[in-house]
Amino acid sequence: MENTKVTIIDIQRMKSQKKKITALTAYDYPFAKLLDEAGVDIILVGDSLGMTVLGYENTLSVTIEDMIYHTKAVKRGVKRALLMADMPFMSYQVSIDEALENAGRLVKEGGAEAVKLEGGIVMQDTVAALVDVGIPVMGHVGLTPQSIHKFGGYKVQGRKQAQAREIVEDAKALEDAGAFSVLLEGIPLELAKEITNTLKIPTIGIGAGAFCDGQIMVIHDIIGLSGEFKPKFVKQYVDIGEIVKNAVKEYMKDVSDGSFPREDHSYFMEKSHLRPVQKKQ
């Protein structure tokens, strides 16, 4: 793994070199540093932070201020990976001017090197406007979580031909608009394969099978920090949730029975400041 900074050019080159692109979310400094040191190619400050770290039911309440705050924290931990930030719900749908202003803030204030937004054909002009002013954009089609109310929940999209065709057209529209990459979420693997083979730009999948040019996961899902949420498309590599709970229980036990803190966890006064202990008569 090289240590040079990853740019969108590197990400695009990886598709032609048939090297799989790895991407993960991060929402704070310590995780950003860990992921970056491990060598992941793209770190996304996802609006999934609404659920993973802010405890909301979905991503719809996340604000541009939330995104800037977390992107700034992540930025401090990233040296190598491409740093990308999500545009939250209603920060880019109202007008192109608002999209430009908000994406600009993620870059200027947050330090993002690219932004991601949801939607295909409907977002074509917005994506083109962002790319025109120099902001790289990753598109996001298929199961777009900001549209859960339209979908009636988190449901796999594109299982039927007609909808599958629409998703292909959406992905093509994003490529035509200048997006550097497209995220494919919650679609059948055959459809993801077709889109990946059709587009020149890389596809990054989540719940979209193995044929995408790269994969992205929510970090909390793969390390066991998402509680009972264990969808089919997630592979959990470790159960940090259990490890943390056990550590907390041990700590509580140690405090309760007096075995923590010991002398070697404690500070002592300098000798010169010690008053001689008065012996009791």
Catalytic residues: 185
Positive or negative, the CA dihedral 204, 209, 211, 217 is: positive
Instruction: For the CB of residue 256, give the shortest distance to ligand KIV in the complex, in Å.
Output: 39
The secondary structure of residue 264, as a DSSP letter, is: G
Nearest to ligand KIV of 75, 246 (CB atom):
75
Q: Is residue 185 a contact point for ligand KIV (CB under 6 A)?
A: yes
Q: Which span (45-53, 67-75, 104-112, 262-270) binds ligand KIV, by CB under 6 A?
A: 45-53
What residue type is assigned to position 20 of the chain? Answer: K
Interior CA angle at 50 toward 24 and 35, to 5°? 20
Residue from the set 86, 113, 175, 213 that interacts with ligand KIV by CB under 6 A: 86
Contacts of 107 (CB under 8 A, 6+ apart): 113, 115, 135
21: nearest Cα among 82, 63, 99, 100 = 82
What's the CA gap between 193 and 211, in Å, rounded?
5
Binding segment toward ligand KIV, per CB under 6 A, in 9-17, 41-49, 73-81, 255-263: 41-49
- For the bound state, the minimum distance from the C-beta of residue 145 to ligand KIV, rounded and expressed in Å, comes to 7
Which residue among 15, 21, 46, 226 contacts ligand KIV (CB under 6 A)? 46
Residue in the shown chain whose Cβ atom is closest to ligand KIV: 46
**Could you say which DSSP state residue 265 is in?**
G
Nearest-approach distance from CB 198 to ligand KIV, in angstroms: 21
Q: Is 141 in the site for ligand KIV (CB under 6 A)?
A: no
Residue 80: how many other CB atoms lie within 10 Å: 18
- Binding-site string for ligand KIV from residue 192 to residue 221, where x marks contact by CB under 6 A and - marks none: --------------x---------x-x---
Closer residue to ligand KIV in complex, CB, 117/135:
117
The full length of the chain comes to: 281
- Containing 83, the helix (H) or strand (E) segment is strand 82-86
Per CB under 6 A, residues contacting ligand KIV are 25, 44, 46-48, 86, 185, 206, 216, 218
